[in-house]
Amino acid sequence: MCGRYTLAPGQGDWEFADVRVQWDGKPRYNIAPSQRAPVIITERGVPVLTEMQWGLVPSWATDPKIAFSLVNARSESAATKPAFRAAFRYRRCLVPADGFYEWQTIGKKKQPWRFVRPDRGLFAFAGLWEAWSAPGRPNEVLHTFSLMTTTPNIVTEPVHDRMPVILEESGVRPWLEESTSLEVLQSLLHPYPAELLTRYPVSALVGNPKNDGMECIAEVALGSSETQVVQGQLW
């Protein structure tokens, strides 16, 4: 799964293939489930940047707490799973990021790693989104999203058995377009090329979602006290 990611670049123009948007928010160094984060959707075919809550709440749900179990959507089953299948067909989004974290179990400890492009550039996760209203309150709409995951590449595999789907440039526009066939959509959900990803160890600070400063992305030495994270701190 993917339970943390980063969006360190601040204000400016963002470009993914031919999708261009402008962001005027602050850098984020430790985005966690239940927090709001920027996503890109289409409105009448035009890419639009908005903010949604991480953790998908299907339109049919009776309790928004279901979001905690729908932070990620497995690429192998999202098209048919009741919680995701409508969003997979009609409500797909890009989730801008410049890195993500995974935890490696080493003995009784968990070591956090940050995964980034070698050039530290932006990329786009494949995401799904939904609009939900509480029963009896149709005017109060909660917009939420989930990240697609897939099998690991050789960079992520030593740390975790899943990785978020990072769209290659050729897949960005098809993922957003409503007319894209299910077959093409499924073909986009593969591991990111290993040569376009690298990793380094970071502090246990990322285990606490209240920490959202530059120290979260700072590289640390393996085996130092800073790298140790206690089971249960991740959420």
Distance in angstroms (rounded) separating the CA atoms of residues 227 and 233:
13
Average pLDDT on 77-101 reads 97
Segment 17-56, tens digit of pLDDT: 788 888 888 999 999 999 999 999 999 888 999 999 999 9
What is the three-class DSSP state of 56? coil
- DSSP summary character for residue 150: E
Residue 234 pLDDT greater than 50, yes or no: no
Residue 227 pLDDT greater than 70, yes or no: no
Segment 173-226, tens digit of pLDDT: 999 999 999 999 999 999 999 999 999 999 999 999 999 999 999 999 986 545
The predicted structure's pLDDT at residue 128: 98
pLDDT band at 91 (very low <50, low <70, confident <90, very high): very high
The predicted structure's pLDDT at residue 109: 87
Residue with tokens 């993500």: 100
Supply 104's token pair: 């490696």
- Active site amino acids: 2, 102
Residue 57 pLDDT greater than 60, yes or no: yes
- Residue 62 burial (CB count, 10 A): 9
- Residue 133 burial (CB count, 10 A): 13
Which strands, in side-by-side order, build the sheet including 5-7?
28-31, 5-7, 99-106, 109-116, 198-201
Q: Decide: 20 and 47 in contact? Cβ < 8 Å.
A: yes
CATH H superfamily, domain 5-99+122-196: SOS response associated peptidase-like (3.90.1680.10)
The predicted structure's pLDDT at residue 11: 64
Segment 140-173, tens digit of pLDDT: 899 999 999 999 999 999 999 999 999 999 999 9
Domain boundaries, the chain: 5-99+122-196
The predicted structure's pLDDT at residue 106: 83
Concatenated DSSP letters for 19-49?
Answer: EEEEE-S--EEEE-TTSEEEEEEEETTEEEE
pLDDT band at 138 (very low <50, low <70, confident <90, very high): confident
Average pLDDT on 52-80 reads 96
The predicted structure's pLDDT at residue 224: 59
The predicted structure's pLDDT at residue 226: 55
Supply 140's token pair: 């109060």
Number of H helices, E strands in the chain: 3, 14
